[in-house]
Amino acid sequence: MASALFWIVLFSPTVLSFVVIVSPRKGFFRVGDQERVVCNVTGCAQTPDITWGALEDKPIAASIETLGSESVITYKNVKRNDENRLVCKAKCGGEQWKQGEITVKVYEFPEVPVITGHERLVLGEPATLTCNVSGVYPGQETEMEWLTDGKTASDPVEGTGNTLVSSFPLTPTHADEGRNITCRAWHRMWGGEKSVIQTSVTLSVLYGPGEVQVSGAAEVQVGDTLSLRCSAEGRPRPQLRWRIQRLSSQWAELEGGQELVVATATHAHAGQYQCVASNTLGESHACLNVSVQGPPRNTSLTLSPPHPIREGESVTLSCRTLSVPVGKVRLLHGEKELRSAVGSEVDITLDDIKLDQAGRYHCEALNRYGTHTNSTQLTVTAHPLQLELLPVGVVTTEIGSALSLVCEASGCPHPQLSWATPSSGVEGATRDSANSPRSELSLRLDSIAQEGNYTCLARCGSVTTSRHTQVALFSFPTAPLVERSGSLLEGEQSTFRCVLRDAYPREAFLFRWLLGDLELTTQTPAETTPAFESSVSVTMEQSLRGRPLTCEAELLMGGVPDVRRRSSIAIIMDVHHPPRNTSLTLSPPHPIREGESVTLSCRTLSVPVGTVRLLHGEKELRSAVGSEVDITLPAAQLDQAGHYHCEASNQYGTHTNSTQLTVTAPPRNTTVEVFPSQRVMEGENITICCHSVSFPPPLVTLTKLGNATEFSSHNGTFVLTNLTPSDTGDYQVNVTNDLGFHTQVFTISVMERSSVPSDGWEALLIPAVVIGSTLASAALLLDFVLRSRKKGSYKLAKCNSSSA
């Protein structure tokens, strides 16, 4: 190798007594190392003076230590800048300076070349290894090479400056596994062991797991040990794990590596086992189906439908088992085998089931390991036949009405319905359709023979049932009638009979008699076919009059509508009596003036009504059938005054009342009669009769005109006695009553005795009265006779009769 050598040039004169030696001879230092340069003075008896100097213009960056005849320069950490030429000078006593010299050269290598690209070599995938040598100093002098299997496999070295790179292409095969490959570099100039650096790597070729192998027993018996093994190649070494899939459900992870051991196998351990091998380059797996064998289990026997079955329906019995290995299943009813099959299931369908097919059914599963049985109870129920009859109970209905009975069965798919009726030959049972669960019986209830129970009968398989409706009839077509016998006259007894026709049933009826609100009696009816009746006797009293006597017939039978339950008739009690309380009233009631209007009203109480007559005196003014009669006098006259009678009569008698009609009028139509004459002889008496129409009776005054003396009379008669000629003059009568007055003036002439014959005077003066006598004595002479019945005016009877 062309490694350079440095040497120290020694200056050694022959006579010299001491020597300066600088070691090492060659200062060939590697950057980073610790190096020493020693200057040793030998042959000097005393302690020499030693100094160091640098020939290049650089300071010495190192520690210098001088001890005795030795001086040491120590480079703790060699740097490229430490390249220099060093001189060690020494002087021993008086001798000449001597010196030694060393040229320090510096080189640099990294610790080792760095090989990359070998970390992940995959089988068959081309790869390139790269070797880097960096920090090379001085670079131009460095070489690199690859060594493998002891052979050199140089490749072009690239690199500039301080870094060298060489690459090594490679497609890994299994043969490359474990192969050593080395990259080395050295200094061409200096050679020597120290200048060669190298790095070796051992190749490792990676590959994914290939075929996975699972081994073990695929069939184990319950309780045995299940042991499975798994193996797979690959680098890195594949990891092994186990999974199981039971009955095509999800995969479940298991514990285990190369070996999977289940100490005691159960059915739960059956399934598809999978060993999965995986490394960084991939994964692969293998499966093994393991069956765990044992006696049959989970044997079940199910019914479809599951609930209790009705007679006539069908049911399917399904027997299922889990059996590994597959064996045989048998379906039994009690001891009797119904069906058997090889496999794990057997079904049987029982149609139109009968009650005696109920009971316990067994499913028996067997294989070479054993037997397993399950059983179930088949319940067959009779049909819950329900019958509904509407209306139900007691139906009360009126004779002649229609009734519809509807019978409806439930709980049975095909019921048979029929009817039983009290009288044969009832028509009208209809069914909605042949198999309908509904039947309707339409009845026209015309006869009491149809009363009784109507029964609807239903049959369903082995079940029968019935419902009945009791029909009760009634008839209450009319209201009762009341008939009477006996007198209606007060105080006598009358009998009332209440009769109800065409009613039924008698025993359900009740008659109730009411007088007003008072209940008289309640009776069950007596039968007088075809009617029922009841009677009551009543003593006729006035207080009963106008009160209702009610006969109520009540039908006391359940189910009769309220409106049909009662019927009644009321008669108003008519108590007869003769007329009474007859009255005759005037309107207005007070005396009236002539010409005013007055109404006479005649009223009576009479049962029954008879006739009323209104009479004025003996004269009938008006009569009427009834209890009243009125008459109005639009302009009453004095002669209409007087007594009026109201006469009421009926079959039982007559009753009369009367009243006085008073008509007033001021005096009028006054006439004066003078008896015997207005011309009399002296000494004679004169009677003056005043007539006036007037009511109330007037006061009549007589005055001689020119003489204040006044005579008054209530009856209008004045007697002037023993007249003298001085009595000759004009006289005035003033007829006065409350309503007014009326006067008449007349003349009396009294002649002297000699001039008049005396015959007539005596005769004429017989009834006269002496003027001036008391009023009482005058009343004896004058007489007012009330003749209101005929004329309604007062007259002087005597005067009249005298004058007539």
Positions that interact with ligand NAG (CB under 6 A)? 38, 40, 42, 70, 114, 116, 132, 134, 163, 165, 178, 180, 200, 202, 248, 272, 287, 289, 299-300, 374, 452-453, 470, 582-583, 657, 669, 683-685, 693, 707, 709, 713-715, 717, 721-722, 734, 736, 741, 743, 761-762, 765, 770, 775-783, 793, 798
Nearest 10 degrees: Cα torsion 263, 264, 268, 273: 40
DSSP result, 116-135: ES-TTEETT--EEEEEEE-S
Element (H, E) at 799: helix 797-803
Nearer residue to ligand NAG within complex by CB, 524 or 654 = 654
Nearer residue to ligand NAG within complex by CB, 163 or 239 = 163
Answer whether 383's CB lies under 8 Å from 460's CB: yes
Residue type, 13: P
How far is the C-alpha of 261 from the C-alpha of 223, rounded, in Å? 13
Q: Which residue has the tokens 């008739």?
A: 569
Distance of closest approach, residue 191 Cβ to ligand NAG, in angstroms:
24
Nearer residue to ligand NAG within complex by CB, 231 or 470 = 470
Angle at Cα 470 formed by Cα 468 and Cα 476, nearest 5°? Answer: 155
Distance of closest approach, residue 67 Cβ to ligand NAG, in angstroms:
10
Quick one: tokens of 56? 């290049």
Distance of closest approach, residue 29 Cβ to ligand NAG, in angstroms:
19
Distance of closest approach, residue 573 Cβ to ligand NAG, in angstroms:
25
Distance of closest approach, residue 57 Cβ to ligand NAG, in angstroms:
29
Nearer residue to ligand NAG within complex by CB, 663 or 778 = 778
Nearer residue to ligand NAG within complex by CB, 226 or 500 = 226
Answer whether 230's CB lies under 8 Å from 42's CB: no
- Find residue 593's DSSP bridge partners: 664
Nearer residue to ligand NAG within complex by CB, 458 or 499 = 458
Angle at Cα 63 formed by Cα 57 and Cα 66, nearest 5°? Answer: 105
Distance of closest approach, residue 266 Cβ to ligand NAG, in angstroms:
16
Distance of closest approach, residue 710 Cβ to ligand NAG, in angstroms:
9
Among 493, 494, 537, residue whose Cα is nearest residue 513: 537
Distance of closest approach, residue 512 Cβ to ligand NAG, in angstroms:
30
Nearer residue to ligand NAG within complex by CB, 248 or 755 = 248
Residue type, 395: V
Nearer residue to ligand NAG within complex by CB, 534 or 582 = 582
Query: Maximum Cα–Cα distance for the chain, whole Å?
Result: 269
Distance of closest approach, residue 695 Cβ to ligand NAG, in angstroms:
11
623 CB-near residues (< 8 Å, 6+ apart): 611, 612, 613, 614, 629
Among 294, 318, 291, residue whose Cα is nearest residue 305: 318
Work out whether strand 180-187 and strand 142-148 pair parallel, antiparallel, or are unpaired.
Answer: antiparallel
Quick one: tokens of 404? 């519809």
Nearer residue to ligand NAG within complex by CB, 118 or 383 = 118
The SS3 of residue 689 is strand
Nearest 10 degrees: Cα torsion 429, 431, 437, 441: -20
Nearer residue to ligand NAG within complex by CB, 536 or 584 = 584
Distance of closest approach, residue 319 Cβ to ligand NAG, in angstroms:
10
